[in-house]
Amino acid sequence: MTKVFISYRRQDSGTAARQIAADFGVRYGEGDVFMDTDSIRVGSDWTQEIEKALRAASVVLAIIGPKWIHTHDEYGRRRIDNDADWVRNEIVHGLANNKQVIPLLVQGAPQLEEDALPDALKPLCKIQNYEISQKYWPRDVKFFFEELERAKVLPRSLGSQMAHPPKRDISVPLSDEESSNSIDPGSGWTIRKSMRPVETGTQLMNELTKAYVFQTFEDCIHFMNTAARHISFIDHHPRWENVWVNLIVSLTSLDIGGELTYKDIRLAKYLDELFIAYKKKSEA
């Protein structure tokens, strides 16, 4: 997998950088993206870890916010003019060592102008940048990753390699009010937004989620096998994760873009009824 190094200034684009790192982790896996606050353990030599990550990276994402070029030190000097500035040196290292350096404009940052940059960073202006709008973040991030995949800067994501059911669902998505009114407040089901792999990459979706806890691992697997027969019959498949005696179930209708429908509500109620019956039987 391609190693990606995220270069950013905390006071300029820290929030956006963390979002990019999280989105990358969902799409490709967290082990292949480096961000200092997440990747360096307490007690480690910060300088050595940064240098090691830069050497290992194939791609350097230069996250540029509206204050990136003007951020200054306590004496009023621009940080990018300082030869000892880490953000400057991360990008210079990428440019000098044949890394794929990609300027990523966030939070309304303006286009870079060559005359405003020190000589060491002027090559940034010759590289096609990409802009991500906070308002349209999920869409822009999705397009950004897909563009890098088409250019073979990044490999195809896990989602694009997964098998998906044929698209034949014509269910109508529920409104927020309909979704809330269809769920018993005491049932344990909650509605959340999450990024899920799809055939074209990742997509922001509405999911109905609940955690079930069993007495043994065998009970949990038996429950899943029993539910699978009904799920296959209705052809509406959940995303579930089994960790020991815990089963986390997430429901959504992929065919219509990851929205909730009455199919999800009905499957949630079936799973609850099965769990109650199964629990009574296992305790008898």
In a domain, 145, yes or no: yes
Domain that holds residue 48: 4-155
- End position of a domain, from candidates 121, 155, 189: 155
The full DSSP string for 154-194 is SPPPHHHHS----S---PPPPPHHHHHHTS-TTS--EEEEE
- Tell me how far CA of residue 191 lies from CA of 65, 169, 250, 259, in angstroms: 32, 21, 9, 11
pLDDT of the residue at 166: 52
In a domain, 22, yes or no: yes
Whether residues 43 and 90 share a domain: the answer is yes
pLDDT of the residue at 2: 67
Instruction: Report how far residue 117's alpha carbon sits from residue 81's, in angstroms, rounded to the nearest whole number.
Output: 8
Whether residues 200 and 277 share a domain: the answer is yes
pLDDT of the residue at 83: 92
Angle between helices 10-28 and 137-150 (to 10 degrees): 60
Whether residues 151 and 203 share a domain: the answer is no
Give per-residue pLDDT as tens, 228-281: 988 887 888 899 999 999 999 999 988 787 899 989 999 999 999 999 887 777
CATH number of domain containing 269? 3.30.1360.20
pLDDT of the residue at 201: 63
In a domain, 260, yes or no: yes
Instruction: Report how far residue 148's alpha carbon sits from residue 123's, in angstroms, rounded to the nearest whole number.
Output: 20
In a domain, 167, yes or no: no
In a domain, 171, yes or no: no
Question: For the chain (length 284 residues), average pLDDT per consecutive 10?
Answer: 85 88 78 74 75 91 94 91 93 93 94 93 93 87 87 74 53 85 90 75 84 91 90 87 94 86 92 86 67
CATH number of domain containing 69? 3.40.50.10140
Whether residues 85 and 223 share a domain: the answer is no
Count the domains in the chain: 2
pLDDT of the residue at 146: 86
Whether residues 95 and 202 share a domain: the answer is no
Whole-structure pTM value: 0.57
Is 247 within 8 Å of 241 (Cβ atoms)? yes
pLDDT of the residue at 204: 81
Instruction: Report how far residue 227's alpha carbon sits from residue 13's, in angstroms, rounded to the nearest whole number.
Output: 45
- Nearest Cα residue to 150 out of 142, 46, 4: 142
pLDDT of the residue at 168: 52
